Structure 1
Amino acid sequence: MSPEEIQQIFFVECEESLAAAEAGLAACRAGTHDSDTVNAVFRAVHSIKGGAGAFGYSALQAYTHTFETLLSDVREGLVAIEEQLVDLLLRALDTLADHVEAAREGGDAPADAALIAEMEGAMAGNAAAAPAAAAEPEPAPQPEAASSDDDDEPKPIDDLDLAALLDDLTGGFDAPAPAAASTNAPAGQDKRWKVHLRPRAGAMRNGSEPLLMLRDIAALGGESVFCDVSQVPPLDSFEVAQGYLGWTFAMPADVAEDAVRDIFDFIGDDCALAIGNDEEIPEFRAEQTAPAPKAEPIAVAPAAPAAPAAPVAAAPVAVAPAPAPAKAPPAAAPAAEAKPDSAEKPAAAAPAPPSAGQSIRIDLFKLDRLIDLVGELVIAQAMLVQRLDGAGITATEELGLLESLTRDIQESAMSIRAQPIASVFSRVPRILRDLAASTGKHVKLETIGETTELDKTVIERLGEPLTHLIRNAVDHGIESADVRIAAGKPPEGTLTLSAEHRSGRILITIADDGAGINRERVLAKAVEKGIVSPDAQLSAEEIDNLIFAPGFSTAQVVSNISGRGVGMDVVRQNVKDLGGRITIESVPGQGTAFILTLPLTLAISDGMIVDVGDQTLVVPLAHVVESLRPGEGDFHGLGSNAQMLNVRGRFIPIISLKTALGAPTGATNPQEGVLIVVDTESAGQAALLVDDICDQRQFVIKSLATNFRAVEGVAGATILGDGKVALIVDVDGLVACALPAQERQAA
């Protein structure tokens, strides 16, 4: 993998870490946090800091270091979690996101000096509250180093001053001398448990600092009871990047195991870790080898004479492993860590099976290629079925199996691209914070259905429309605090984001509890701008839809939020490009809801193949309710041309596809064709008149706008089994356009 690819993975992980930190701080603001929440935020920021150091983003690393230090004080209880602090942390997280974006795009780092000063002030302001017990103990006096001999031979480890060497290697970390160490729990702490750890080679990669992790354990109340130095080689074989030391900590019974594991979450396999009580984990001793050249004074059994790479593969708690070569197999460490109390098993045991929930990163181009191939497979399967039917060959069982397998492959491939919409919703809190700073309106966010999944392409293209709608809701919809109080509402507005699956499509709703759309003002502004004539008679729905007209705006003052008449028309166009529709529901004084109806995927769907004259069309099955051939008394005329269908006592309009799409031939009399009852989001149910229904099968959606041009009432095109191109009917758009025309004709 190239450095550029690794760098891209880092930025993807930064997005995940930022989302995790955002969720944690949101819980802190809501008062639903606990210690795990704060630890999760700390880990997220720490992960970004480590990667920034590895890739040389000095500005990002320096800023994140201050942010991480403040979070460290928070989780240690030195800084109390209050509303003012949470606001500071949220602003710091926003700036951190800007730092990441600047590093990704190669731009200038954002100005952060004032924010760093605020964070340092928060730490300094609470420094006096730190408990006296948290102060580091005075380091024990170290004996003088042994004098060197006159010869040039390096001294063996037992001839050196071990205390001085340990102090140099650990930066002065306070660890009791091995001779005075005791594995017995202190008085009154008989329920203490042990943590054995040994940083391996590479433990200081990516900005990791094992010494800080040891101090984090001590901050949890851990007491260092043993330091294993048996792996330290002679000085002529010493490598500074290797890990030679191991520690045993006794932890208080009230400390959770997850709290310790969280400390080592980022370092991963670069640190051997074993946790348990005295019965589960034996004493942390040096590894035994045979034959032993000489006894070490601080270990039960001697170590190999000079094997610098041995600590990389050796497990920290194995009692009697086989002799380790200079390059030990990497499978040795996971096996020993998984069963630290198994002294008889060799260190090279098979690794444990991977745990559930593991994932790998796949290049998006490869995934898109897979989806395209699945689409071609669907077309090939349809062509094969039609060819065999034409040749009179009966293979019902085999074709059924092929169709089932094709559908399973298609659904599996689409599920790979599916992502929860929470990745879009997670951006909204920052938008609301920015709007609160510029408008003075404080808005509470409520989300529903954030685990709803849809295609990655749809998710990526949802960001801009949602941003416009949210800014519009806060600026135009939600009133100021004093107006809301006068109207009997709480001073803080509420914005609700919801997502749900319905009839093979996804519905995304952006609703506010503001004043609703002022239809008189909207109509007056539309007349002023010449969008509608002064004598136009418009329904409430038609007036609401005027806000999507290009250049339309009701803002009194042009600001950086609204007022220039661009945005809402872009929103509608973006939603249409996704194959969806947007509708408005507004109640004066109660609020407005924008409803986006989108396809789950832009690639493959199910449809009904129909004939209209000499044309073959596809009606998406997600809209189809039923199909029927009407009798003479089932339909009735309305006006000069409009007709209504009586469906079990309920009348719905009949729309001829021949007339709606401008086909040269086709049925216009309901008794001459077939009626397909469809359901739409904006206009309810309608009956589409076609000549005949040919088949029902999957189809691959091809963009008509990309390959030709956009056509009103047509959502796209597909290739049929016989190689012909068929148009896909945009049911929502066609019904919405056809019904006003029928109403005008009836009037």
Structure 2
Amino acid sequence: MNDLNEMFFQECDDLLEGLSSGLNELENGSNDEEIVNSMFRAVHSIKGGAGAFGLDQLIEFSHAFENVLDDVRAVRLAADENVVALLFTASDHLSDLVDAARNEDQLPPEQGASILSDLKHMSGSLDDDSHAHDGRGEEDPPAFEPTTLTVDGGLPPLDDMLSPTAPTPLTITFKALPQLYTNGHDPTLLFRSLQELGSLTINADLSSISLLRDAPWSAPTLSWTIDILPDDSVDEAVIREVFEFVEGLCELEIQSHASAPPIETLPPLEEHTQVPQSGAPSLGPDPRETKETGVKPASGSKKQPAARSSTIRVDLQRVDQLINLVGELVIAEAMLRQSMDEMPHSANGSVDEAMSQLKQLSGAIQESVMAIRAQPVRGLFQRMSRIVRETSKEAGKSARLVTIGDATEVDKTVTERLVEPLTHMIRNAIDHGLETPDQRLAANKDKRGTVTLEAAHRSGRVVITLSDDGGGIDRAKVRQIAEDKGLVRPDDDLADADIDNLLFRAGFSTANEVSNLSGRGVGMDVVRNEIQSLGGRVSMQSEPGKGTSVTISLPLTLAVLEGMVVRVADQTLIVPTLSLREMLQPGQASVHTLCDGDRVLALNDELVPIINLGAALGYRTDPVCLGQQSLLLIEDDSGRRSALAVDAIAEQREVVIKGLEQSYQSISGIAAATILGNGRIALIIDTDQVIALPGRMGAAEPPAPGATGDVVNA
């Protein structure tokens, strides 16, 4: 049961994701009937699975939910703004009920009582009069008594059926497979859908039913034969669409009688209408049989079961284990290559070619394994849709979420750790960014604000942008608060970007009073810290009166990093290429020494501070001559530039990231470590932290012989 329970909740997650997608389409004005049908099937499947596990609270709510969806798809209820808003609220509560059931808990009855009441009132089913009663958990179901169901008086005379202008009669043989019931489907709903397409007679085949003590519980025994005379505009293709979402879950055969023999060759009408229990009626030879062989063509009317899903569910821990092993394989390949490079070239022979192939294969395996962890950000974006609804309601504003690029794939770990930063960003966008409906109307804007969440792949990275169409950042207010807090001085010359970056300072808040949404000084600093811990960067742009945009740039995976291998004081270090903007070899840079001993690089009419990387990390205390150093120009999240002085630049390569905190401890200025081809450990530099390290310049270099003035040409 534990395995079945886990499978049910995994399926619920997929169904809830599909439900959320359908609601977003409905909110955006889509008129596709299949969207409502898919939403109905999702809620109905959740109800069916909940019934198998006795989750009464989930059953009752999903039953009321599907009644409203049934009214919408039957056009008894218009999907206007109020209906869609209620469906969104119901979807959120249904997700809460699933989570509670997953944790073997129940929500307080009063938590969703008002939503349940609204659903019942909207569908007119407060007394359960306008929808079929499922009997689950409310009253004992009636005793089973097999009957023959005749709808609309059965079939018309056969002469009318075979007339040239009459619709083509069809005979449908239907038998459910076990998976159909496991997924929560009900054949009765299929038959009701057929009833809307024409006149039909349904007979159940009871020949396979055995005594209860002998019943094979794992195998359904009922099958049905249905004779249908479709309406004028209905053909066989429309009939098949009714069974579309149970393909592969049933045995289905649809037989057409369009080319039946003349009337005199048919048995009496009574024999035609009495369907034998053992199968479908025989109406003479099949016109599709050839005269020469009497064999039916391969394209017979029997529909083959659809292919099973080509995806499997794998425990995430197993995937992580595989990724670690592949990382070790890549390291072993690099070590083997290093050893071969140190051997005489003549000794390599054909082994060198084999090593090249091994390198290509290990790289391909690494990329494929990394792709296993990749998943679309659609689920993450849909979770943010709920945050938008709840925050706008609490702030007394009207807002909607627009998503772009939700099929963009990101490492699963990245998506999980993005939940909290995006939640903070959205709450800030609505609470601080969007105006009230009255203010928006006065500014000639739609009274309903728009928050846009966009994801895309750019230059080997994932870029996520959250923007709003609000009033933008009030920079005068931000600066005044910063001055009051002593963060800046009144005479400081700050650019717009500098003022915007003040919002990322810990404890900084522009709220006038503390509320459930803001005012506690916790928000954008959390965003920056979390994004930096993922190896990413965050930046902000704002235009008064038009809105604010926050951009997050992240690596595709947290397992591999592109870096520049450098040497400092006999140590090998890795500088991530993400923050690297330019490299300057000795003799290419113009260096100035300031009065306090600090040195700066003159580049493009800009003075960039130089960081002695060896001194900043404590590798050396002796002075160094910049004339013998290479410079790496780096840039942090706020756009500030610095130059790292290193002894030498070796090469650029991809390295496998190994965390330090689990096996050692966190080190200031160091992000992680890796293993090189020679087996040695190399530390990966955290460039943002290095820029902020105290005493980053180290000891001043001795004067160069013959140097004059304060300019030294390195």
Q: Give the counterpart of 1:366 among 315, 318, 327.
A: 318
**Structure 1 residue 410, shift from structure 2 partner:** 0.6
Aligned residue identity for 1:24: G
Residues 505 and 622 in structure 1, CA contact (< 8 A), matched pair in contact too: no
**Structure 1 residue 202, shift from structure 2 partner:** 6.5
1:119 aligns with 2:119: yes
List gaps (5 residues or longer) in structure 2: 133-143, 262-269, 287-295, 699-709
Other structure's SS at 1:273 match? strand
Residues 701 and 717 in structure 1, CA contact (< 8 A), matched pair in contact too: yes
Structure 1 equivalent of residue 341 of structure 2: 389
Structure 1 equivalent of residue 28 of structure 2: 30
Residues 420 and 452 in structure 1, CA contact (< 8 A), matched pair in contact too: yes
String of CA shifts for 1:272-316, please: whole Å, max 9, x gaps. 12457557999xxxxxxxxxxxxx977999888xxxxxx9xx9x9
Matches within 5 A, 1:242-391: 242-252=221-231, 254=233, 263-264=242-243, 267=246, 269-275=248-254, 278=257, 340-341=300-301, 354=307, 358-391=310-343
Structure 1 equivalent of residue 681 of structure 2: 725
Q: Distance between the aligned counterparts of 1:4 and 1:387, measured in 2?
A: 51
Structure 2 equivalent of residue 543 of structure 1: 499
String of CA shifts for 1:528-556, please: whole Å, max 9, x gaps. 44555677665543433333333332222
- Inter-CA distance 202–490: structure 2 relative to 1 (3 Å threshold): closer
Q: Give the counterpart of 1:60 among 39, 58, 61.
A: 58
Q: Give the counterpart of 1:637 among 581, 592, 609.
A: 592
Residues 173 and 225 in structure 2, CA contact (< 8 A), matched pair in contact too: yes
More divergent stretch after superposition (717-726 vs 583-592):
583-592
**Structure 1 residue 375, shift from structure 2 partner:** 0.9
Structure 1 equivalent of residue 266 of structure 2: none
- Inter-CA distance 188–485: structure 2 relative to 1 (3 Å threshold): same
- Inter-CA distance 210–490: structure 2 relative to 1 (3 Å threshold): closer
Residues 500 and 540 in structure 2, CA contact (< 8 A), matched pair in contact too: yes
Q: Give the counterpart of 1:218 among 182, 195, 207.
A: 195
Residues 170 and 211 in structure 1, CA contact (< 8 A), matched pair in contact too: no
Structure 2 equivalent of residue 431 of structure 1: 387
Q: Distance between the aligned counterparts of 1:183 and 1:611, measured in 2?
A: 92
Residues 585 and 630 in structure 2, CA contact (< 8 A), matched pair in contact too: yes
Other structure's SS at 1:543 match? helix
Residues 454 and 464 in structure 2, CA contact (< 8 A), matched pair in contact too: yes
Q: Give the counterpart of 1:106 among 104, 125, 135.
A: 104
String of CA shifts for 1:225-261, please: whole Å, max 9, x gaps. 5647485568898879522333244444645878766
Q: Give the counterpart of 1:51 among 30, 49, 52.
A: 49
Q: How many equivalent pairs are there?
A: 658
Structure 1 equivalent of residue 702 of structure 2: none
Residues 660 and 666 in structure 2, CA contact (< 8 A), matched pair in contact too: yes
Residues 501 and 638 in structure 2, CA contact (< 8 A), matched pair in contact too: no
Other structure's SS at 2:677 match? coil
- Inter-CA distance 205–444: structure 2 relative to 1 (3 Å threshold): closer
Structure 2 equivalent of residue 154 of structure 1: none
String of CA shifts for 1:310-361, please: whole Å, max 9, x gaps. x9xx9x99x99xxxxxxxxxxxxxxx9995448xxxx9xxx88947x72111
1:708 aligns with 2:664: yes
**Structure 1 residue 382, shift from structure 2 partner:** 1.2
Matches within 5 A, 1:195-210: 195-200=172-177, 203-210=180-187
Structure 1 equivalent of residue 453 of structure 2: 497
Q: Distance between the aligned counterparts of 1:471 and 1:182, measured in 2?
A: 69
**Structure 1 residue 367, shift from structure 2 partner:** 1.0
1:169 aligns with 2:146: yes
Structure 2 equivalent of residue 603 of structure 1: 559
Structure 1 equivalent of residue 524 of structure 2: 568
Matches within 5 A, 1:385-534: 385-392=337-344, 393-394=347-348, 395-529=351-485
Residues 250 and 305 in structure 2, CA contact (< 8 A), matched pair in contact too: no
**Structure 1 residue 730, shift from structure 2 partner:** 2.8
**Structure 1 residue 472, shift from structure 2 partner:** 0.9
Q: Give the counterpart of 2:167 among 190, 210, 214.
A: 190
Q: Distance between the aligned counterparts of 2:85 and 2:7, measured in 1?
A: 30
Structure 1 equivalent of residue 701 of structure 2: none
Q: Distance between the aligned counterparts of 1:585 and 1:379, measured in 2?
A: 41
Q: Give the counterpart of 1:42 among 40, 43, 53.
A: 40
Structure 2 equivalent of residue 162 of structure 1: none
Q: Distance between the aligned counterparts of 2:169 and 2:276, measured in 1?
A: 29
Q: Distance between the aligned counterparts of 1:191 and 1:733, measured in 2?
A: 77
Q: Distance between the aligned counterparts of 2:298 and 2:45, measured in 1?
A: 25
Identity %, equivalent residues: 39
Matches within 5 A, 1:572-651: 572-624=528-580, 627=583, 629-631=585-587, 634-637=589-592, 639=594, 641-644=598-601
Aligned residue identity for 1:707: S
Structure 2 equivalent of residue 149 of structure 1: none
Other structure's SS at 1:16 match? helix
List gaps (5 residues or longer) in structure 1: 136-166, 283-295, 305-310, 321-335
Residues 274 and 337 in structure 1, CA contact (< 8 A), matched pair in contact too: no
Other structure's SS at 2:145 match? helix
Aligned residue identity for 2:459: S
* RMSD, matched Cα: 4.3
**Structure 1 residue 680, shift from structure 2 partner:** 5.9
Q: Distance between the aligned counterparts of 2:483 and 2:564, measured in 1?
A: 43
- Inter-CA distance 198–731: structure 2 relative to 1 (3 Å threshold): same
Other structure's SS at 1:706 match? coil
**Structure 1 residue 185, shift from structure 2 partner:** 6.5
**Structure 1 residue 381, shift from structure 2 partner:** 0.9
Aligned residue identity for 2:427: R
Structure 2 equivalent of residue 4 of structure 1: 2
Structure 2 equivalent of residue 140 of structure 1: none
String of CA shifts for 1:634-681, please: whole Å, max 9, x gaps. 43437453333658x998765543344443179955542434455665
Residues 511 and 519 in structure 2, CA contact (< 8 A), matched pair in contact too: yes
Structure 1 equivalent of residue 647 of structure 2: 691
Residues 400 and 448 in structure 2, CA contact (< 8 A), matched pair in contact too: yes
Q: Distance between the aligned counterparts of 1:251 and 1:738, measured in 2?
A: 83
Residues 612 and 697 in structure 2, CA contact (< 8 A), matched pair in contact too: no
Q: Distance between the aligned counterparts of 1:667 and 1:249, measured in 2?
A: 94
